């Protein structure tokens, strides 16, 4: 029996909400609170009569700590699931600290205004010290560790698919298959087709910022940064087929590099079609991916936010998207002195997801683990004072829950490795 406050009501949140409502023995009550309350009310109306979970809704601006505190104090949840945007991570963590309530999210903190001089000074120092230039990193949230310990509350960071499931796969591989893992290749393949010339599968602003940034990987104790999309490989994905994939910086590399003893290399690859890449390059060349405000006809606009308004809403891609995703990790290492390789992955079918929850597989593969992370915190299995990444807990209950809640996984021994 628990009461969960869910912040955000976009693509990922809508799946997480429905999964909580399927799991009403654990989530007896939920509140959906977001910037646009009408979306929360629509979600509640869709679910009423189909679930035993009691649903309430509220309007909240999650950029404002005081508003969040007032909402948490009035609803008294056992935990807060942040499925808004990475921009709100710190304000929601501040409110959880003030109210002594557990916190779960799916993406690490990113600054909305990357021109802010205070943020930029810290960012540039970090770029020099750590050697990667992504706008997002864990330092901001790891800095809450002592305060969460002292308050006796848990923050579970990155409980989506990647980060999230890929990090739990790593903990599972280490627990059951290896004495030491030496390399991890995280492969994120979307073999889906939505029929548009160009659209992003989740929040366009977050997605485009991620893929237009330099790539980087972890090797021999340091970051190696490379030009965007400059490392390309081809892989034959089970149930999807041959795809081109490109090396990206990705947030779980940072935490896995700290949490996997003896790790030598961690890389992340994502598949992209040529049309997506051509559109993105063109948008970038003309300045449409800019995050700094510009003046247009007497008012300030942020180019990437304007672009977001033009692109299809990812939440509407569900009915159009056909095909499958395959996301997983290839691990190499040693067990009992013998070298071995395994591949753990999940295949998810866009249309099956749409039939079940009205969303495509990208939202589904993130929303299900968000619910599972929240479940393990509220049922006590993963409750421990402090700030943690998912790979720091026992992976077994999470892996069981993935099979139970719609993301079954496969362990393949001796897979083809990536060059
Ligand atoms: P969407 O843009 O679809 O949804 C974001 C939601 O947050 C919207 O409901 C939006 O409200 C709400 N929101 C935004 N700002 C505020 C605010 N200030 N106060 C209150 N609510 C706010 O994003 P997605 O659902 O695609 O992504 C959600 C999260 O999931 C992101 O953090 C993303 O990075 C993460 N993610 C993680 C993945 C993983 O595998 N780990 C994969 C994919 C996504 P409104 O409706 O008014 O716009």
Nearest CA to ligand 1 atom 11: 35
Report the pLDDT averaged over residues 379-393.
98
Nearest CA to ligand 1 atom 42: 366
Nearest CA to ligand 1 atom 7: 84
Tokens 């104790």 correspond to what residue? 221
User: Would you state the pLDDT for residue 114?
Assistant: 85
Q: Which atom of ligand 1 is nearest to the CA of 165?
A: 40
As given in the structure block, the two tokens for residue 124 are: 């540039």
Q: Which atom of ligand 1 is nearest to the CA of 367?
A: 30
What is the distance in A from the centroid of ligand 1 to the CA of 331?
A: 31
User: Would you state the pLDDT for residue 113?
Assistant: 87
Q: Do residues 33 and 46 make contact, with C-beta atoms less than 8 angstroms apart?
A: no
Q: Residues with Cβ within 6 A of ligand 1?
A: 8-13, 34-36, 39, 60-63, 83-86, 88, 106-107, 160-164, 202-203, 206, 314-315, 366
Q: What is the pLDDT of residues 146-192, one digit of tens each?
A: 999 999 999 999 999 999 999 999 999 999 999 999 999 999 999 99
User: Would you state the pLDDT for residue 405?
Assistant: 98
User: How big is the chain by its Cα radius of gyration, in Å?
Assistant: 20
As given in the structure block, the two tokens for residue 264 are: 């030598």
Q: Do residues 2 and 26 make contact, with C-beta atoms less than 8 angstroms apart?
A: yes
Sheet containing strand 2-7, strands side by side: 54-59, 27-34, 2-7, 79-82, 102-105, 154-157, 386-389
What is the distance in A from the centroid of ligand 1 to the CA of 350?
A: 20
Burial class (CB within 10 angstroms; exposed 0-12, middle 13-18, buried 19+) of 312: middle
Q: Which atom of ligand 1 is nearest to the CA of 162?
A: 40
Residue partners of 309: CB distance under 8 A and separation at least 6: none
What is the distance in A from the centroid of ligand 1 to the CA of 2?
A: 23
Q: Do residues 328 and 166 make contact, with C-beta atoms less than 8 angstroms apart?
A: yes
Nearest CA to ligand 1 atom 46: 36
**Residue 79 bridge partners (DSSP):** 4, 102
User: Would you state the pLDDT for residue 209?
Assistant: 78
Report DSSP state, residue 335.
E
Q: Which atom of ligand 1 is nearest to the CA of 86?
A: 32
* Among candidate residues 209, 197, 198, the one with its CA nearest the CA of residue 303: 209
Pocket test for ligand 1, best of 8, 41, 205 (most atoms within 8 A of CB): 8
Least confident stretch, 59-73, 125-139, 194-208, 403-417:
194-208
């Amino acid at each position: 029996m628990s009461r969960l406050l869910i912040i955000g009501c976009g693509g990922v949140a809508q799946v997480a909400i429905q999964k909580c409502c399927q799991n009403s023995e654990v989530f007896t009550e939920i509140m959906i609170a977001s910037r646009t309350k009408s979306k929360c009310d629509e979600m509640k109306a869709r679910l009423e009569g189909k679930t035993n979970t009691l649903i309430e809704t509220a309007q909240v601006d999650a950029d404002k700590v005081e508003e969040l505190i007032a909402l948490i104090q009035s609803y008294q949840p056992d935990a807060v699931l942040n499925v808004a945007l990475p921009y709100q991570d710190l304000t929601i963590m501040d409110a959880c600290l003030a109210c002594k309530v557990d916190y779960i999210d799916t993406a690490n903190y990113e600054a909305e205004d990357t021109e802010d001089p205070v943020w930029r000074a810290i960012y540039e120092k970090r770029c020099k010290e750590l050697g990667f230039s992504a706008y997002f990193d864990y330092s901001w949230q790891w800095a809450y560790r002592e305060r969460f310990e002292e308050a006796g509350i848990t923050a579970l960071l990155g409980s989506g698919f990647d980060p999230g499931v890929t990090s739990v796969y790593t903990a599972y591989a280490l627990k059951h298959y290896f004495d030491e893992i030496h390399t991890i290749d995280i492969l994120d393949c979307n073999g889906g087709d939505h029929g548009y010339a160009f659209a992003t599968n989740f929040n366009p602003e977050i997605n485009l910022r991620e893929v237009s940034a330099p790539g980087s990987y972890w090797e021999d104790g340091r970051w190696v940064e490379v030009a965007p999309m400059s490392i390309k490989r081809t892989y034959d994905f089970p149930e999807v087929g041959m795809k081109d994939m490109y090396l990206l910086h990705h947030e779980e590399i940072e935490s896995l590099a700290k949490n996997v003893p003896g790790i030598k290399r961690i890389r992340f690859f994502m598949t992209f079609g040529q049309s997506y890449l051509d559109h993105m390059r063109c948008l970038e060349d003309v300045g449409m991916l800019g995050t700094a405000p510009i003046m247009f006809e007497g008012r300030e606009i942020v180019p990437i936010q304007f672009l977001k308004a033009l692109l299809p809403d990812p939440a509407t891609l569900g009915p159009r998207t056909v095909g499958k995703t395959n996301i997983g990790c290839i691990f190499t290492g040693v067990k009992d002195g013998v070298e071995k390789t395994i591949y753990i992955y999940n295949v998810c079918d866009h249309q099956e997801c749409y039939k079940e929850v009205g969303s495509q597989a990208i939202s589904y593969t993130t929303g299900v683990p968000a619910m599972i992370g929240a479940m393990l915190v509220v049922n006590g299995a993963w409750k421990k004072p402090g700030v943690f990444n998912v790979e720091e807990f026992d992976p077994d209950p999470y892996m069981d829950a993935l099979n139970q809640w719609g993301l079954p996984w496969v362990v393949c021994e001796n897979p083809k490795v990536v060059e």
